């Protein structure tokens, strides 16, 4: 972990999709625990708002806005961390959204887009980070200092462990992310990097609340409806009430689960999937 000019040397954490919802709560939680944050969001405004809030509370944060699927994004994202803070210690792959349809009506574009966002983008970000992490570890070993335990947390879903009707694209991508997690845990153990995933259940965010007037965003020049239709909302509400805890989770509770896998106390936990779903097994 690199010292900065002002003497701050907390872990450097990169969080995708951190302008709203779970990602925002994760960025704020990590900052509260002393991390320096690279805030990503598709929209620069929300990302800057999160970063400004962290700085106002005495933390350190910079913004790297843009789509995680952009060809140059992985290098920009990792480069922002290196330029601002000197390295990479924590990566949280959180960004994403849903685009539902039953299999017979699902287009190639729907399939390809969700796989790209939820599986290919994390793969490319982690690939871009590997040379930086490897170089840091070699430098630490050469200097005879302890190699810190760095962390990767990939955000999956119980839809990726159990499936969900009308979400073949999303569930396949989230299931694939678990395979990536377990494989990278085996590859990066030699760098003292733990790689884990959190599988969320129903968390109250824009994705799980009713479609409203501000529910449309633009991704790659295409309007995307962010929110739940009436039929999906009824399924989510039923699922939340069926959870042993009897309710949906909050973004702050979701962030707490991510922090468990980023904290020093989880330094001997790797290749695991933590379900944060209130006990709910499927929707």
Residue 28 confidence (pLDDT)? 98
pLDDT band (50, 70, 90) for residue 3: very low
pLDDT band (50, 70, 90) for residue 31: very high
Find out whether 188 and 196 touch, Cβ atoms under 8 Å.
no
Domain span at residue 35?
A: 12-203+249-276
Find out whether 188 and 161 touch, Cβ atoms under 8 Å.
no
Does the pLDDT at position 41 exceed 70? yes
Tell which residue, 195, 189, 175, 64, has the closest CA to residue 126.
195
Residue 208 lies in a domain: no
User: Across residues 11-31, what is the average pLDDT?
Assistant: 98
Number of folded domains that form the chain: 1
Residue 4 lies in a domain: no
Residue 156 lies in a domain: yes
Residue 216 lies in a domain: no
Residue 118 lies in a domain: yes
SS (H, E, C) 1-12: CCCCCCCCCCCE
Which CATH number do you get for residue 178? Answer: 3.40.50.720
Residue 219 confidence (pLDDT)? 65
pLDDT band (50, 70, 90) for residue 4: very low
pLDDT tens per residue across span 121-162: 999 999 999 999 999 999 999 999 999 999 999 999 999 999
Residue 262 lies in a domain: yes
Residue 195 lies in a domain: yes
Residue 73 lies in a domain: yes
170 is catalytic: yes
pTM: 0.91
Question: CB within 8 A of 240, min separation 6: which ones?
Answer: 202, 246, 247, 248, 278, 280
Q: Which two tokens stand for residue 129?
A: 């980070």
């Amino acid at each position: 972990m690199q010292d900065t000019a002002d003497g701050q040397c907390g872990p450097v954490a990169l969080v995708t999709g951190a302008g709203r919802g779970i990602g925002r709560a994760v960025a704020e939680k990590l900052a509260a625990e002393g991390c320096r944050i690279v805030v990503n969001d598709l929209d620069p405004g929300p990302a800057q708002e999160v970063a400004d809030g962290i700085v106002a509370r005495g933390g350190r944060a910079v913004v790297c806005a843009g789509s995680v699927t952009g060809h140059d994004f992985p290098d920009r994202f990792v480069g922002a961390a290196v330029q601002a803070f000197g390295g990479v210690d924590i990566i949280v792959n959180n960004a994403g959204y849903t685009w539902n349809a039953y299999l017979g009506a699902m287009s190639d574009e729907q399939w390809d887009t969700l796989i790209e966002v939820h599986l290919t983008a994390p793969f490319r970000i982690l690939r871009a980070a590997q040379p930086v992490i490897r170089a840091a570890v070699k430098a630490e070993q050469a200097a005879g200092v302890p190699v810190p335990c760095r962390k990767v947390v990939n955000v999956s879903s119980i839809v990726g462990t159990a499936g969900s009707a009308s979400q073949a694209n999303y569930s396949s991508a989230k299931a694939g992310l678990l395979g990536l997690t377990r494989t990278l845990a085996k590859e990066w153990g030699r760098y003292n990097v733990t790689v884990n995933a959190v599988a969320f259940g129903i968390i109250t965010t824009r994705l799980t609340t009713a479609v409203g007037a501000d529910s449309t965003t633009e991704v790659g020049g295409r309007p995307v409806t962010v929110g739940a239709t009436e039929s999906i909302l009824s399924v989510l509400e039923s699922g939340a009430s069926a959870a042993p805890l009897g309710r949906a989770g909050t973004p702050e509770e979701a962030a707490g689960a991510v922090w468990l896998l980023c904290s020093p106390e989880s330094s001997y936990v790797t290749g695991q999937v933590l379900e944060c779903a209130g006990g709910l097994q499927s929707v």
